[in-house]
Amino acid sequence: MEYGQIVDRLQEFFSKNTIVNKARSFKNIEPFSYWDELLIVSAEYPSRKDVYVEFRHLETFNQELADKLLSNPTEWFMAATDAISEIEFPINNLPDITVRVIDLPQTSEVMISKLRNDHLEKFITIRCVISKATEVRPAYETVAYKCLRCGHVTRVTLSKDYDQLEEPFAGCENDTCGKRGPYDIVNEGSIRYDHQYLKIQEPIENLRGRQPETLNVSCSDELAGSRKPGEKVIITGTLKSRIQTKKEGKTKFLDFLFVANSIQLSDKDYENLEITPHDEEQIKELAQRPDIKQVVISSIAPSIRGHENIKEGIVLQLFSGNSTNMSDGTHIRKDIHILIIGDPGVGKSQILSFVSNFAPRAIQVSGGSTSAAGLTGAAVRDEFDGRWSIEAGALTMAGDGGICCVDELDKMNNKDRGSMHDALEQQYVNVAKAGVFAKLPTACSLLGAANPKYGRYDQYESIFSQFNIGDALLSRMDLIFVFRDIPNAENDSALAWHILDEGNTNYPERIDLELLRKYIAYSKIYCSPKMTEEAKACLVDFFLKTREKAGSIKDSVPVTVRTLESAKRLAVANAKIRLSETVEKKDALDAITLLLRNLHEVGIDPETGDLDASYLECGVSGSQRQKIKLMKEIIQKLCKQNLINGTAKIDDIERECEKNKIVDPIAILSKLKSRGDIVAITPDSFKIV
């Protein structure tokens, strides 16, 4: 098809006489004409300069015209602009309209890692996640050069595909001048447009443990600034190339550059998981099994023997709860956060590795080598022009409903760990640097692992004294599991045979992992169970009765509102395992059982033996709070009695503590100093702040 023929066919396509079917189903004909769409654009011109066309309409109108778009998009879009510019409109003519084509067939979809030389100069679609975005900046499309010798203006049209600014190399167009400069760029006659670069990468669910490949995308006009990092999008455009340049000069190698024609938000989750009718039938059959939850638990990390509690928690995390948007604008997360702590070498990292490779959408990082920027996001200088751009971190890239696995969480410094607080609870993070501001979504679950400071876990010491994590982060965890390596002849023998007997098939029944992956994805897409009144009453009863058991210390709080929210998320996840439309009382009871078992493992005040949720959420139990309060009163009294310098001596403090049966005054003094309640005037004297 020649260029003139393409123009003629496109003029016919956009004419008022061509009617297409707007509806997706041809059973329901919904007449639609792109002429009407162009009339709307004409009325809004020049504030709007684009029109969207569905590829299927081109195919229906003229298959050869549609094929030409895929094989030679550069020529096709030039022809489209020329075709529309020649059409007379009643309001404004459209000399520089951009046609944006959407919804290409699946055969035109290409993964970033599969891009090859054959795809250059072809029109394709890429499903991806935006990992980085530069600032939107104006760029020249046409430059008007004024000759400083004679004043003649020469106009040079630049390609939107490349960054180089081209001068009139042939010289001034004035016949009486003809000199090659000098020139000055003038506004009159120059044409500018908005431009932005994006960096995209393959969706997390496509990776399965391998490193994601990235691609630079050039966005112009209305597309510039339309999307932000962390969003999952479908980009349709033309694959171009640029010559690689090094310090020594140009090389023979090329870098890909994707010139975007249209960008759509992806309305699908887990695109890489094709759930066939047969898969759906199997999924629904599995959901009817009374033992479905136990079978799913048995399928998680089968190479690790035992630890059913931890595996149950991970199963619930994979299925997740339901998010809630309150009437006051606040958001209650659906994602379940889990922390696994305990002895080294017992399989914590192995569990994280399994989840990151198995989950429909997951990413894994190491706390020892990850910064705050790598986890949440940052403003960084881009490689295109040195300006600041927003780059998404692991929590954003994990995506809505994904899981971010962070190993060696204890190896992170306090500042980097602190950056996760808002990201985990509010599920967004604000990035502000060098005048660049962005709000990045972090709606994913966290699965973290940490080792004790001193080698092995001590059940008689608090987790705060053993793990370098911090109470603020611990309070955001729905479940905290302790992985312990306790010598036991019977268990050790069974474990050894489990590891060594690779050919043994005498395992509990499991679900094929690919089918289970689809089962979880199906549940997340189609299942959003509602709480029954019986389930609500069960959770309320748990909350009230547990809080009544405040123990011997009046300041101890067995459970808090956060505990109740965790119980609700776990109950909903239990219902999702059954693909149920409702959360039943049994789901709530199962959630409460797991939660109490978990709290009794890590939420017990070691001094009183009472359940105290504030010990987890604040790092200080009720008994400790009483001792801290008494210690402050002692120091204040001693300061008043010291008429010389108004300080409390360490010897006097220890003597008063002994009278009041405070066992470890040095530890309490250290906690008061770290909180800023007291200040050390000298090494052995203190004062209340």
The reply to whether 116 and 91 lie within a common domain is no
The reply to whether 88 and 124 lie within a common domain is no
Cα 354 from Cα 28, distance rounded (Å): 47
pLDDT at 313: 93
pLDDT (tens digit per residue) in 228-260: 888 889 999 999 998 888 777 888 889 999 999
What DSSP state is assigned to residue 601? H
Residue 564 lies in a domain: no
Residue 299 lies in a domain: no
The reply to whether 132 and 10 lie within a common domain is no
pLDDT (tens digit per residue) in 472-493: 788 888 998 887 666 666 666 7
Per-residue confidence band for 553, with pLDDT thresholds at 50, 70 and 90: very low
The reply to whether 139 and 256 lie within a common domain is yes
Final residue of a structural domain among 231, 265, 299: 265
Final residue of a structural domain among 232, 265, 298: 265
The reply to whether 119 and 77 lie within a common domain is no
pLDDT (tens digit per residue) in 124-175: 999 998 888 888 889 888 899 888 888 888 888 887 766 777 777 677 888 8
pLDDT (tens digit per residue) in 638-666: 888 887 888 888 888 888 888 887 777 88
Residue 212 pLDDT exceeds 60 = yes
Burial of residue 203 (number of CB atoms within 10 Å: 0-12, 13-18, 19+): buried
CATH of the domain at 679: 1.10.10
CATH of the domain at 253: 2.40.50.140
Residue 608 pLDDT exceeds 70 = no
In the three-class reduction of DSSP (H, G, I as helix; E, B as strand; rest coil), residue 204 is classed as helix
The reply to whether 120 and 258 lie within a common domain is yes
Half-sphere exposure (Cβ direction) of 287: Cα atoms closer than 13 Å? 20
The reply to whether 120 and 243 lie within a common domain is yes
The reply to whether 16 and 52 lie within a common domain is yes
The reply to whether 65 and 209 lie within a common domain is no
Q: Which domain holds residue 62?
A: 3-103
Q: Alpha carbon 18 to chain centroid distance?
A: 44
Residue 171 lies in a domain: yes
Lowest mean pLDDT among 178-192, 258-272, 518-532, 567-581: 258-272
Residue 640 lies in a domain: yes
Residues 6+ apart with CB under 8 A from 406: 364, 365, 366, 367, 370, 375, 394, 446, 447, 448, 449
**Higher confidence at residue 612 or residue 41?**
41
CATH of the domain at 70: 3.30.1640.10
The reply to whether 98 and 121 lie within a common domain is no
Verdict on whether the full-model pTM lies above 0.85: no
pLDDT at 180: 77
Select from 352, 400, 351, 392 the least CA-distant residue to 374.
Answer: 392
Cα 484 from Cα 460, distance rounded (Å): 13
Q: Which amino acid is at 416?
A: D
Number of domains in the chain: 3
**Higher confidence at residue 147 or residue 671?**
147
The reply to whether 240 and 120 lie within a common domain is yes
Opening angle at CA 531, ends 567 and 566, nearest 5: 15
pLDDT at 115: 92
The reply to whether 131 and 241 lie within a common domain is yes
**Higher confidence at residue 468 or residue 488?**
468
Cα 55 from Cα 222, distance rounded (Å): 20
Cα 138 from Cα 196, distance rounded (Å): 9
